[in-house]
Amino acid sequence: MYKNVLQSIDNIEIWPVVSFVIFFIFFLCLLLWVFTADKKIIDRMKMLPMEDSSPEKEKSNSKQ
Amino acid sequence: MEVEKFSYDNKIVRAFMIATVVFGLVGMLVGLTAAIQLFYPLFNFDLQYTTFGRIRPLHTNAIIFAFVGNAMFAGVYYSLQRLLKARMFSDQLSWIHFWGWQLIILAAAITLPLGYTTSKEYAELEWPIDIAITIIWVVFGWNMIGTIIKRRERHMYVAIWFYISTFVTVAVLHLVNSVEMPVSLFKSYSAYAGVQDALVQWWYGHNAVAFFLTTPFLGIMYYYLPKAANRPVYSYRLSIIHFWSLIFIYIWAGPHHLLYSALPDWAQSLGVVFSIMLIAPSWGGMLNGLMTLRGAWDRVREDPVLKFMVVAITAYGMATLEGPLLSLKNVNAIAHFTDWIVAHVHVGGLGWNGFLIFAILYWMTPRMYNTTLYSTKLANIHFWLGTLGIIFYALPMYVSGVVQSLMWKEFNAEGFLVYKNFLETTVQILPLHGLRAVGGTLYLTGAIIMTYNLIKTANSGSFIADEAAEAAPLTKNFVQHSGGWHNRLLEHKPVLFTVLALVAILIGGIVELVPTFLIKSNVPTLSSVKPYSPLELHGRDIYIREGCVNCHTQMVRPFRSETERYGEYSKAGEYVYDHPFLWGSKRTGPDLHRTNGKYSNTWHFNHMLAPDAVSTGSIMPAYPWLFEQTITKSDTRGKINALRKVGVPYEAGYEDEANADLDKQANEIVATLKADGVEVSADAEIIALIAYLQRLGKDIKGEKTSQLQP
């Protein structure tokens, strides 16, 4: 029954394939982007949560 | 460079934290009540406002939008200001957001028990509240993006990416799923019907889990875990991959909620493939969290905040492995419609969301009150009660789910169902439901202890309403870092970033939804499937109001065990006039899609009045009010008109004759009841409900006989 519904849409079989290809390309670009990114910026970003406290707060943080 | 002095707004964070705790306790208490109702029906209190069908959406909405929602806002408002070194964009917007959100919760708490519901899971609220949600959500986004634009820190930390994607995606989901045609102030019909409505709803439902319960809390994890552990996240690169692949993949996986249903096969397969792929980013994120604690495990033993976080992240890992496994068709065939799914969501809800929320409440409160936690011992007790609570909740539910499912599917040597009577399988799992309530009680007790601990902590310190901070403003002529074009592209440009995140989620959404929209005109309408009669329409609205869909499915899957038990499996074409679809997601009671002719009108009459008297041991609540309340016939016109607008082919002018048809059909039912010695008014709600129940599956019966005749 499903097939009857979907045969009326041209080339429906291609949808899952297209989806997968889109994702795969996206993922490759993502990996390329992340692993060629500047290490300094990465390290700077990584430290952001650690440096947002005001000096007095740091003390009380380390107290606990 | 000139350093600017400013302050962080802690007051708004505290307001959201208080709301979190209050609604957390309320939501858990309602959940516990619902759990008890399932083995001790007396707890339905014989009141229409407190039956399971109305309480269950109250519980889910309270937990998701009030408890987790408020906690998300508290976590975001606290961390966003500090990560961006800027106060929130506008205090006014912050408070409009806060009070607006609480009013929405109040509206939900009033309308859901009154039976005003769209019946679409986690989107039950009626259209005026939907509009309010849209407005308040925009206020939240405006405030957040405004803060990002006036930030003093050029780089946007990964937590903020997660917050942005949350805002953008929830907006899209809510808008698309809430398209509905108002009938009256508190009644509307979904613009989508049947298969389409189901696909849109589970695209929403799945991604509400993703973008309301997951992404904001991953952002929170990426901020608070390094803070609590006092060391940066294990791998920032991994967190970038985690973010982009998660938001990109999640959106595709929605159809895994509809396996073996009347949904097209290709969409089901797409859902499965992308669900399996989701394991990678989810586990990447979990490992990133746990690895952040490397070398700090000694502190995990002492610090309750870290303990809660470790269990939360572990629960995240478990739930995100289990989810994809459940989407495999052979696993799904067993688990779907059973308590297994309830266990699965509660590992996520109690473990991941609940424990992460407790962790950040314990972490923020002493800091905002410039003091230390009142009692670490009580926090540890809370931790153990909570952990035991999760175990006592989840394990019985897993067992119960598998046991019941196998009973549903068991055939004897002669090829007949061993447990032909659905009720036998229900009775079997009631002790496990009892254990589940014990788990819930433990968890709730822990939360009460936390509340006490936090109040004592607050009383022992002094609240810092505006926390002083200083930072240099961003310079306009920023010199780009050489070689850093990759990151520069995004993290410095919040608006572009937001647009890209939107594109990432839209690709999946479009691929998933467009073909289904194309189907609309092409579904081969079964010639025998006719729009509901006016009386059936009233009955269907009562079915929706009473939340029957919370326990009864209308989706016979193409398994022999189901066709034997219920009848012909469900076809896509049968639902073309179902605004909204009522497939359901859980079988606490049997499927109803083939109810037509199975029982007499009198049976239904007696059963709705006293289920236990008709089926001994039934846990279904009684519905005595259906016999006293009457349907409002003046609403018929509005219902017909609204449905016609969304595509149901009622003839022009039918609204004028509809009530005559309604009376005729009602009198026929009354006459059959009278023949059995039952007197009831033709206007009583029960008559409409019987008409609807007797309609379910009727069309397809006609189809079969007409096909048989040459």
Can you give the length of chain A in residues? 64
Angle, helix B158-177 to helix B215-229, in steps of 10 degrees: 160
Q: Cβ separation of A6 and B236 shorter than 8 Å? A: no
Q: According to the model, what pLDDT value does residue B134 have?
A: 96
What was the pLDDT predicted at B653?
A: 92
Least confident of A29-43, B71-85, B459-473: A29-43
B469 lies within 8 A of chain A by CB: yes
Contacts 24+ apart (CB under 8 A), B643-651: B643/B181, B643/B189, B643/B531, B643/B537, B643/B577, B643/B579, B645/B181, B646/B181, B646/B189, B646/B190, B646/B191, B646/B193, B646/B579, B647/B193, B648/B193, B648/B531, B648/B577, B648/B579, B649/B531, B650/B531
H/E element holding B708? helix B698-708
Sort out which chain A residues have CB atoms less than 8 A from B233's CB and list them: 46, 49
Q: Are residues B552 and B164 in contact, defined by beta-carbon separation less than 8 angstroms?
A: no
Q: Which residues, numbered 472 to 491 in chain B, qualify as contacts with chain A under a Cβ-Cβ cut-off of 8 Å?
A: 481, 483-484, 486-488, 491
B164 contact A CB<8A: no
Q: Reduce the DSSP state of residue B319 to 3 states and report it.
A: helix
Does the distance separating the beta carbons of A1 and B573 come in below 8 Å?
yes
CB contact under 8 A, B82 and A53: yes
Q: Per the CB < 8 Å rule, is B245 touching A30? A: yes
Contacts of A64 in chain B (CB under 8 A): 303, 366, 372-373
Indicate the DSSP class of residue B420: -
Are B252 and A34 inside 8 Å of each other by CB?
no
User: Cα separations (Å) of B245 from B171, B215, B216?
Assistant: 20, 12, 15
DSSP state of B550: G
Q: Which amino acid is at B672?
A: T
Q: Which of B232, B303, B507 sits opposite A47 (nearest CB)?
A: B232
In this prediction the pTM is: 0.92
The whole-angstrom distance between A6's CA and the closest CA on chain B is 7
Q: Which residue of A has its CA nearest to B374?
A: A64
Sign of the torsion formed by the C-alpha atoms of B84, B85, B86 and B87:
positive
Condensed to tens digits (0 to 9), the pLDDT of residues B611-659 reads: 999 999 999 999 999 999 999 999 999 999 999 999 899 999 999 999 9
Closest alpha carbon within chain A to B245: A27
For the segment B532-585, what is each residue's pLDDT rounded down to a tens digit? 999 999 999 999 999 999 999 999 999 999 999 999 999 888 998 999 999 999
The confidence score (pLDDT) of residue A53 equals 56
Least confident of B128-137, B148-157, B407-416, B453-462: B148-157
User: Chain B window 76-95: which residues touch A at a Cβ cutoff of 8 Å?
Assistant: 79, 82-83, 85
The residue among B85, B203, B236 with the most chain A CBs within 10 A of its CB, best to mutate, is B236
Token pair for B406: 């196998």
Quick check: B615 and B423 in contact, CB under 8 A? yes
Q: Is the Cβ of B266 closer than 8 Å to some Cβ of chain A? A: yes
Say which residue, B208 or B365, is predicted with more confidence: B365
Q: How far is CA B346 from the centre of its chain?
A: 12
Q: Which of A5, A43, A57 to mutate to test the interface with B (most CBs of B within 10 A)?
A: A5
Q: Kindly tell me the sign of the dihedral angle through the C-alpha atoms of B423, B420, B559, B555.
A: negative
The mean predicted confidence, pLDDT, of chain A is: 67
Mark which residues 504-523 of B lie under 8 Å from A by CB: 504, 507-508, 511, 515, 518-519, 522-523
pLDDT at B479: 53
pLDDT in the model for residue B266 = 73
Most confident by average pLDDT, B472-476, B506-510, B668-672? B668-672
Contact flag B157-A48 (C-beta cutoff 8 Å):
yes
Residue B8 and residue B466 in contact, taking contact as beta carbons nearer than 8 Å: yes
Average pLDDT of span B165-174: 93
Which residue in this structure is represented by tokens 């968890």?
Answer: B443
What is the distance between the alpha carbons of residues B310 and B307, in angstroms, rounded to a whole number? 5
| Mean pLDDT (whole number) for B442-453 | 98
pLDDT band at A3 (very low <50, low <70, confident <90, very high): very low
Interchain CB distance below 8 Å, B157 and A45: yes
- Residue B187, beta-bridge partner list: B184
> Using N-to-C axis directions, what is the helix angle for A14-36 and B265-292, rounded to 10°?
20
Residue of B nearest to A1 (CA): B571
Give B328→chain A minimum CA distance, Å: 17
The pLDDT value recorded for residue A18 is: 76
Q: Which residues in chain B touch residue A6, judged by CB atoms under 8 angstroms apart?
A: 264-266, 515, 519
Average pLDDT over residues B485-511: 74
Mean pLDDT for all residues in chain B = 91
Secondary-structure breakdown of chain B: helix, strand, coil percentages, each rounded to the nearest 5 = 70, 5, 25
**Would you call A9 and B83 a contact, using CB atoms and an 8 Å cutoff?**
no
Dihedrals φ, ψ of B181, to 5°?
-105, 110
Chain A residues in contact with B515 by the CB 8 A cut-off are: 6, 9, 12, 15
Residues B640 and B645: their CA atoms lie apart, in Å, by 9
Three-state SS letters, B57-69? HHHHHHHHHHHHH
Distance separating alpha carbons of residues B311 and B506, to the nearest angstrom: 33
Q: Which residues contact B99 (CB under 8 A, 6 or more apart)?
A: none
Any idea of the CA torsion for B678, B684, B688, B694, to the nearest 10 degrees?
-10
d(CA B584, CA B288): 36
Number of neighbouring beta carbons within 10 Å of residue A63:
8
Task: List the structure tokens of B188.
Answer: 């509307």
Number of Cβ within 10 Å of residue B296's Cβ equals 14
Pinpoint the alpha helices (H) of B327-373. 329-335, 339-346, 355-368
pLDDT, mean of residues B409-419: 94
The residue among B22 and B281 whose pLDDT is bigger is B22
> What pLDDT shows up at residue B376?
95
Inter-chain residue contact B572 with A49, CB threshold 8 Å: no
Task: Decide if pLDDT at B486 tops 60.
Answer: no
Contact A30 B244 (CB under 8 A): yes
CB contact under 8 A, B367 and A61: yes
Q: Residue B264: its chain A contacts at CB < 8 A? A: 2, 5-6
Strands annotated E in B87-193: 180-184, 187-190
Nearest C-alpha neighbor of B69 from the set B123, B23, B118? B23
Residues from chain B contacting residue A50 (CB–CB below 8 Å): 226-227, 230-232
3-state secondary structure (DSSP) of residue B471: strand
Contacts of A35 in chain B (CB under 8 A): 237
- Please list the residues that pair with B466 across neighbouring strands: B9
Distances (CA, A) of B197 to B105, B153, B202, B204, B522: 25, 44, 9, 10, 15
Residues of A in contact with B236 (CB under 8 A): 42-43, 45-46
What is the average pLDDT across B572-599?
A: 93
pLDDT > 80? residue A62: no
Q: How far is B247 from chain A (nearest CA, A)?
A: 11
Is the distance from CB of B55 to CB of B47 less than 8 angstroms?
no
Residue of chain B minimizing CA distance to A13: B266
pLDDT of residue B458: 97
3-state secondary structure A20-42: HHHHHHHHHHHHHHHHHCCHHHH
- The string over B368-384, giving b where at least 16 C-beta atoms fall within 10 Å of a residue's C-beta and e elsewhere, is bbebebbbbebbebbbe
Question: Which residue from B250, B284, B262 is spatially nearest to B166, judged by alpha carbons?
Answer: B250
Best A52, A58, A60, A63 member to test B by mutation, with max B CBs in 10 Å, is: A52
B661, B200 Cβ separation under 8 angstroms: no
Does residue B94 register a pLDDT over 50?
yes
Cβ-defined contact of B249 to A23 (cutoff 8 Å) = yes
Helices B654-675 and B601-609 meet at what angle, rounded to 10?
80
Q: Which residues of A touch B470 (CB under 8 A)?
A: 54
Confidence band for B526, pLDDT divided at 50, 70 and 90:
confident
Taking CA atoms, B329 is separated from B256, B369, B544, in Å, by 9, 51, 29
Across the interface, do A57 and B230 touch by the CB < 8 Å criterion? no
Q: Which of residues 343-382 of B touch A (CB under 8 A)?
A: 366-367, 370, 372-373
Asked if B643 and B189 touch (Cβ cutoff 8 Å), the reply is yes
Which of A46-60, B44-58, B198-212 is modeled with the greatest confidence? B44-58
Q: What is residue A4's predicted lDDT score, i.e. its pLDDT? A: 43
Report residue B283: phi and psi, to 5°: -70, -30
- φ/ψ of residue B7, rounded to 5: -140, 150
Dist. CA B148–CA B512, nearest whole Å: 32
* Residue B421 token pair: 């009577």
Please report the pLDDT score of residue B516 as a whole number.
Answer: 67
